[in-house]
Protein backbone atom coordinates (compact mmCIF):
# COMPACT_ATOMS: atom_id res chain seq x y z
CA UNK A 1 0.00 0.00 0.00
CA UNK A 2 1.29 3.49 -0.82
CA UNK A 3 1.43 6.20 1.86
CA UNK A 4 -1.32 8.03 -0.06
CA UNK A 5 -3.56 4.97 0.11
CA UNK A 6 -2.85 4.62 3.82
CA UNK A 7 -3.75 8.28 4.36
CA UNK A 8 -7.01 7.83 2.50
CA UNK A 9 -7.76 4.75 4.59
CA UNK A 10 -7.11 6.73 7.76
CA UNK A 11 -9.40 9.48 6.49
CA UNK A 12 -12.11 7.09 5.40
CA UNK A 13 -12.22 5.07 8.60
CA UNK A 14 -11.96 8.09 10.88
CA UNK A 15 -14.72 9.76 8.87
CA UNK A 16 -16.88 6.65 9.29
CA UNK A 17 -16.23 6.55 13.07
CA UNK A 18 -17.10 10.24 13.30
CA UNK A 19 -20.28 9.82 11.25
CA UNK A 20 -21.35 6.87 13.40
CA UNK A 21 -20.83 8.84 16.61
CA UNK A 22 -22.82 11.78 15.21
CA UNK A 23 -25.60 9.51 13.99
CA UNK A 24 -26.26 8.50 17.59
CA UNK A 25 -27.75 11.98 18.06
CA UNK A 26 -29.26 12.54 14.64
CA UNK A 27 -29.90 9.26 12.86
CA UNK A 28 -30.52 9.57 9.10
CA UNK A 29 -29.11 13.12 9.09
CA UNK A 30 -25.39 12.43 8.72
CA UNK A 31 -23.64 11.90 5.42
CA UNK A 32 -19.95 11.28 4.97
CA UNK A 33 -18.12 11.95 1.68
CA UNK A 34 -14.93 10.15 0.57
CA UNK A 35 -11.72 11.66 2.02
CA UNK A 36 -9.48 13.90 -0.06
CA UNK A 37 -5.75 14.48 0.28
CA UNK A 38 -5.07 18.16 0.72
CA UNK A 39 -2.16 19.77 -1.14
CA UNK A 40 -1.22 23.40 -1.64
CA UNK A 41 -3.94 23.81 -4.29
CA UNK A 42 -6.88 22.42 -2.32
CA UNK A 43 -8.82 24.19 0.36
CA UNK A 44 -9.11 21.81 3.33
CA UNK A 45 -12.18 23.61 4.67
CA UNK A 46 -14.02 24.03 1.36
CA UNK A 47 -17.77 24.43 1.67
CA UNK A 48 -17.87 25.24 5.38
CA UNK A 49 -19.28 28.74 5.93
CA UNK A 50 -17.18 30.86 8.29
CA UNK A 51 -17.14 31.79 11.10
CA UNK A 52 -17.30 28.24 12.35
CA UNK A 53 -16.61 26.31 15.53
CA UNK A 54 -13.34 24.42 15.52
CA UNK A 55 -13.04 21.47 17.92
CA UNK A 56 -9.45 20.29 18.14
CA UNK A 57 -8.79 16.81 19.53
CA UNK A 58 -5.18 15.61 19.57
CA UNK A 59 -3.93 12.07 19.83
CA UNK A 60 -1.57 11.65 22.77
CA UNK A 61 0.58 8.78 24.06
CA UNK A 62 0.09 6.18 21.33
CA UNK A 63 0.55 8.36 18.28
CA UNK A 64 0.85 12.04 17.44
CA UNK A 65 -1.47 14.02 15.25
CA UNK A 66 -4.36 16.40 15.28
CA UNK A 67 -8.00 16.09 14.40
CA UNK A 68 -9.95 19.21 13.63
CA UNK A 69 -13.70 19.14 13.38
CA UNK A 70 -15.10 22.26 11.79
CA UNK A 71 -18.80 23.03 12.16
CA UNK A 72 -20.61 26.17 10.97
CA UNK A 73 -22.51 27.95 13.74
CA UNK A 74 -26.00 26.71 12.74
CA UNK A 75 -24.67 23.12 12.67
CA UNK A 76 -23.48 23.45 16.28
CA UNK A 77 -26.81 24.92 17.34
CA UNK A 78 -28.74 22.13 15.58
CA UNK A 79 -26.51 19.40 16.96
CA UNK A 80 -26.65 20.76 20.51
CA UNK A 81 -30.45 20.76 20.27
CA UNK A 82 -30.46 17.18 18.95
CA UNK A 83 -28.15 16.09 21.79
CA UNK A 84 -30.63 17.54 24.30
CA UNK A 85 -33.58 15.89 22.63
CA UNK A 86 -34.93 19.16 21.22
CA UNK A 87 -35.90 19.92 17.61
CA UNK A 88 -32.77 20.98 15.64
CA UNK A 89 -34.64 23.01 12.97
CA UNK A 90 -36.61 24.96 15.57
CA UNK A 91 -33.43 25.68 17.56
CA UNK A 92 -31.68 27.02 14.44
CA UNK A 93 -34.68 29.19 13.49
CA UNK A 94 -35.06 30.54 17.05
CA UNK A 95 -31.35 31.28 17.42
CA UNK A 96 -30.88 32.96 14.03
CA UNK A 97 -28.32 35.77 14.34
CA UNK A 98 -27.55 35.08 18.01
CA UNK A 99 -24.11 34.11 19.22
CA UNK A 100 -23.66 30.54 20.34
CA UNK A 101 -24.14 29.98 24.07
CA UNK A 102 -21.41 28.47 26.26
CA UNK A 103 -23.54 25.35 26.49
CA UNK A 104 -23.77 24.99 22.71
CA UNK A 105 -19.99 25.41 22.35
CA UNK A 106 -19.50 22.84 25.08
CA UNK A 107 -21.79 20.43 23.23
CA UNK A 108 -19.55 20.80 20.15
CA UNK A 109 -16.49 19.90 22.24
CA UNK A 110 -18.29 16.96 23.79
CA UNK A 111 -19.40 15.48 20.50
CA UNK A 112 -15.84 15.92 19.13
CA UNK A 113 -14.57 14.04 22.17
CA UNK A 114 -17.02 11.19 21.62
CA UNK A 115 -16.28 10.80 17.94
CA UNK A 116 -12.51 10.95 18.29
CA UNK A 117 -12.59 8.40 21.14
CA UNK A 118 -14.30 6.02 18.72
CA UNK A 119 -11.74 6.78 16.01
CA UNK A 120 -8.84 6.33 18.46
CA UNK A 121 -10.15 2.92 19.46
CA UNK A 122 -10.00 1.81 15.82
CA UNK A 123 -6.50 3.21 15.49
CA UNK A 124 -5.44 1.30 18.66
CA UNK A 125 -6.57 -1.96 17.13
CA UNK A 126 -4.74 -1.43 13.85
CA UNK A 127 -1.50 -0.40 15.58
CA UNK A 128 -1.77 -2.94 18.38
CA UNK A 129 -1.21 -0.32 21.06
CA UNK A 130 -3.27 2.12 23.08
CA UNK A 131 -4.04 5.41 21.36
CA UNK A 132 -5.37 8.07 23.69
CA UNK A 133 -6.97 11.40 23.02
CA UNK A 134 -6.57 14.70 24.83
CA UNK A 135 -9.54 16.70 26.05
CA UNK A 136 -11.00 18.77 23.18
CA UNK A 137 -10.22 22.45 22.69
CA UNK A 138 -13.08 24.38 21.17
CA UNK A 139 -13.05 27.88 19.69
CA UNK A 140 -14.75 29.97 17.03
CA UNK A 141 -12.59 30.79 13.99
CA UNK A 142 -13.19 33.36 11.26
CA UNK A 143 -10.56 32.22 8.72
CA UNK A 144 -9.31 28.84 7.51
CA UNK A 145 -5.70 29.83 8.23
CA UNK A 146 -6.50 29.82 11.96
CA UNK A 147 -7.44 26.15 11.74
CA UNK A 148 -4.26 25.14 9.99
CA UNK A 149 -1.64 27.10 11.91
CA UNK A 150 -0.09 23.84 13.15
CA UNK A 151 0.50 22.39 9.67
CA UNK A 152 4.13 22.17 8.58
CA UNK A 153 6.05 20.34 5.85
CA UNK A 154 6.22 17.18 7.99
CA UNK A 155 2.43 16.89 8.15
CA UNK A 156 -0.01 15.43 5.64
CA UNK A 157 -3.56 16.76 5.61
CA UNK A 158 -6.69 14.72 4.89
CA UNK A 159 -10.10 16.33 4.71
CA UNK A 160 -13.51 14.63 4.87
CA UNK A 161 -16.77 16.47 4.19
CA UNK A 162 -19.51 15.39 6.60
CA UNK A 163 -23.02 16.78 6.34
CA UNK A 164 -24.77 16.99 9.69
CA UNK A 165 -28.47 17.90 9.82
CA UNK A 166 -28.11 19.57 6.42
CA UNK A 167 -25.00 21.58 7.30
CA UNK A 168 -21.63 20.98 5.67
CA UNK A 169 -18.98 20.22 8.30
CA UNK A 170 -15.43 18.97 7.83
CA UNK A 171 -13.08 16.63 9.58
CA UNK A 172 -9.51 17.74 8.88
CA UNK A 173 -6.79 15.37 10.00
CA UNK A 174 -3.21 16.49 10.45
CA UNK A 175 -1.10 13.38 10.12
CA UNK A 176 2.67 13.48 10.76
CA UNK A 177 4.63 11.63 8.05
CA UNK A 178 6.23 9.31 10.61
CA UNK A 179 2.75 8.16 11.57
CA UNK A 180 1.78 7.61 7.92
CA UNK A 181 4.73 5.23 7.60
CA UNK A 182 3.68 3.25 10.68
CA UNK A 183 0.08 3.15 9.57
CA UNK A 184 1.00 1.96 6.07
CA UNK A 185 2.92 -0.95 7.55
CA UNK A 186 0.16 -1.82 10.05
CA UNK A 187 -2.54 -1.75 7.35
CA UNK A 188 -0.42 -3.96 5.06
CA UNK A 189 -0.12 -6.48 7.89
CA UNK A 190 -3.85 -6.38 8.52
CA UNK A 191 -4.70 -6.84 4.85
CA UNK A 192 -2.46 -9.88 4.69
CA UNK A 193 -4.16 -11.32 7.76
CA UNK A 194 -7.79 -10.51 6.95
CA UNK A 195 -8.65 -10.30 3.26
CA UNK A 196 -11.85 -8.24 2.88
CA UNK A 197 -15.09 -10.23 2.88
CA UNK A 198 -17.18 -9.94 -0.28
CA UNK A 199 -20.72 -10.00 1.06
CA UNK A 200 -22.45 -9.15 4.27
CA UNK A 201 -25.41 -11.45 4.68
CA UNK A 202 -24.84 -14.09 7.33
CA UNK A 203 -26.90 -17.22 7.60
CA UNK A 204 -28.04 -18.39 11.04
CA UNK A 205 -25.98 -21.07 12.65
CA UNK A 206 -23.18 -20.38 10.23
CA UNK A 207 -20.27 -18.36 11.53
CA UNK A 208 -18.28 -16.40 9.03
CA UNK A 209 -16.47 -13.17 8.38
CA UNK A 210 -18.09 -9.89 7.40
CA UNK A 211 -16.87 -6.30 7.26
CA UNK A 212 -17.74 -3.65 9.88
CA UNK A 213 -17.20 -0.24 8.26
CA UNK A 214 -17.38 1.64 11.56
CA UNK A 215 -13.84 2.88 12.07
CA UNK A 216 -10.24 1.93 11.49
CA UNK A 217 -11.25 -1.62 12.29
CA UNK A 218 -13.00 -1.43 8.94
CA UNK A 219 -11.10 -4.29 7.37
CA UNK A 220 -10.64 -6.44 10.43
CA UNK A 221 -12.58 -9.67 10.16
CA UNK A 222 -15.25 -10.35 12.77
CA UNK A 223 -17.63 -13.22 13.33
CA UNK A 224 -21.34 -12.54 13.03
CA UNK A 225 -23.57 -15.15 14.55
CA UNK A 226 -27.32 -15.36 14.79
CA UNK A 227 -28.95 -16.91 17.85
CA UNK A 228 -32.36 -18.51 17.50
CA UNK A 229 -32.97 -19.05 21.19
CA UNK A 230 -31.68 -20.42 24.45
CA UNK A 231 -32.67 -22.94 27.02
CA UNK A 232 -31.44 -23.83 30.49
CA UNK A 233 -31.25 -27.45 31.52
CA UNK A 234 -29.45 -29.55 34.04
CA UNK A 235 -26.13 -31.01 33.01
CA UNK A 236 -27.64 -34.45 33.59
CA UNK A 237 -30.26 -33.81 30.94
CA UNK A 238 -27.76 -32.15 28.59
CA UNK A 239 -25.34 -35.08 28.56
CA UNK A 240 -28.29 -37.41 28.14
CA UNK A 241 -29.47 -35.80 24.88
CA UNK A 242 -29.61 -38.34 22.09
CA UNK A 243 -30.27 -38.02 18.35
CA UNK A 244 -33.98 -37.45 17.88
CA UNK A 245 -34.45 -35.60 21.17
CA UNK A 246 -36.28 -32.27 20.84
CA UNK A 247 -35.01 -29.26 22.76
CA UNK A 248 -37.55 -26.48 23.13
CA UNK A 249 -36.08 -22.96 22.81
CA UNK A 250 -37.28 -19.85 24.62
CA UNK A 251 -38.72 -18.11 21.55
CA UNK A 252 -41.88 -18.12 19.51
CA UNK A 253 -41.76 -18.46 15.72
CA UNK A 254 -42.51 -14.76 15.30
CA UNK A 255 -39.97 -13.53 17.86
CA UNK A 256 -36.88 -11.67 16.63
CA UNK A 257 -33.56 -13.47 16.86
CA UNK A 258 -30.36 -12.03 18.34
CA UNK A 259 -27.29 -11.12 16.32
CA UNK A 260 -23.81 -11.13 17.81
CA UNK A 261 -20.51 -9.72 16.60
CA UNK A 262 -17.63 -11.54 18.22
CA UNK A 263 -19.87 -12.43 21.15
CA UNK A 264 -21.28 -8.93 21.64
CA UNK A 265 -24.91 -8.36 20.89
CA UNK A 266 -25.31 -6.24 17.76
CA UNK A 267 -29.09 -6.16 17.69
CA UNK A 268 -32.08 -8.20 16.64
CA UNK A 269 -33.35 -9.41 13.31
CA UNK A 270 -35.87 -11.60 11.53
CA UNK A 271 -35.12 -14.83 9.77
CA UNK A 272 -35.90 -14.65 6.08
CA UNK A 273 -35.07 -16.86 3.12
CA UNK A 274 -33.14 -15.76 0.06
CA UNK A 275 -34.27 -17.21 -3.27
CA UNK A 276 -36.24 -19.73 -1.27
CA UNK A 277 -33.23 -21.84 -0.33
CA UNK A 278 -30.82 -19.79 1.77
CA UNK A 279 -31.30 -18.50 5.28
CA UNK A 280 -30.65 -14.79 5.91
CA UNK A 281 -31.38 -12.27 8.64
CA UNK A 282 -33.10 -8.95 8.11
CA UNK A 283 -31.85 -6.53 10.80
CA UNK A 284 -34.64 -5.13 12.99
CA UNK A 285 -32.80 -3.14 15.63
CA UNK A 286 -29.17 -2.23 16.15
CA UNK A 287 -27.96 -1.60 19.69
CA UNK A 288 -24.35 -2.58 20.00
CA UNK A 289 -23.44 -3.69 23.49
CA UNK A 290 -20.17 -2.35 24.79
CA UNK A 291 -19.56 -5.22 27.18
CA UNK A 292 -19.33 -8.86 26.12
CA UNK A 293 -22.60 -10.75 26.48
CA UNK A 294 -22.61 -13.07 29.45
CA UNK A 295 -24.42 -16.34 29.06
CA UNK A 296 -27.59 -16.33 31.10
Distance of closest approach, residue 67 Cβ to another protein, in angstroms: 13
Distance of closest approach, residue 217 Cβ to another protein, in angstroms: 10
Distance of closest approach, residue 105 Cβ to another protein, in angstroms: 8
Distance of closest approach, residue 41 Cβ to another protein, in angstroms: 35
Distance of closest approach, residue 226 Cβ to another protein, in angstroms: 24
Which of 135, 233 has the CB closer to another protein? 135
Which of 245, 291 has the CB closer to another protein? 291
Which of 140, 271 has the CB closer to another protein? 140
Which of 89, 101 has the CB closer to another protein? 101
Which of 84, 196 has the CB closer to another protein? 84
What is the binding site for another protein (CB under 8 A)?
21, 24-25, 80, 83-84, 102-104, 106-107, 109-110, 113-114, 117-122, 130, 133-135, 215, 290-291
Distance of closest approach, residue 16 Cβ to another protein, in angstroms: 13
Which of 50, 117 has the CB closer to another protein? 117
Distance of closest approach, residue 294 Cβ to another protein, in angstroms: 15
Which of 38, 104 has the CB closer to another protein? 104
DSSP per position, the chain: --HHHHHHHHHHHHHHHHHHHHHTTSTT-EEEPPPEEE-TTS-TTTT--SSEEEEEEEEETT--EEEEEEEEHHHHHHHHHHHTTS-HHHHHHHHTTPPPPHHHHHHHHHHHHHHHHHHHHHHHHHHTS--EEPPPEEEEESSHHHHTTT--TTEEEEEEEEEETTEEEEEEEEEEHHHHHHHHHHHHHHHHHSPPPS-----TT--EEE--TTSGGGGS-EEEEEE-------HHHHHT--TT-----S--TTSPEEEEETTEEEEEEEEEEETTTEEEEEEEEE---SSPPPP-
Amino acid sequence: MTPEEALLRIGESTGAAVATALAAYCPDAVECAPPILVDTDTDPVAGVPLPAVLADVSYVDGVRGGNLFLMPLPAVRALAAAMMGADPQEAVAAGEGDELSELELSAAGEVANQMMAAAAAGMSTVLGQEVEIAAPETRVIAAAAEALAAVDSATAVVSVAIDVLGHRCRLVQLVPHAFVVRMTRALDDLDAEFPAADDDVAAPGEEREAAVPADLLGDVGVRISAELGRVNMTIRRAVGLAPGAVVELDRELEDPIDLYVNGRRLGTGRLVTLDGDEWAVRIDTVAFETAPEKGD
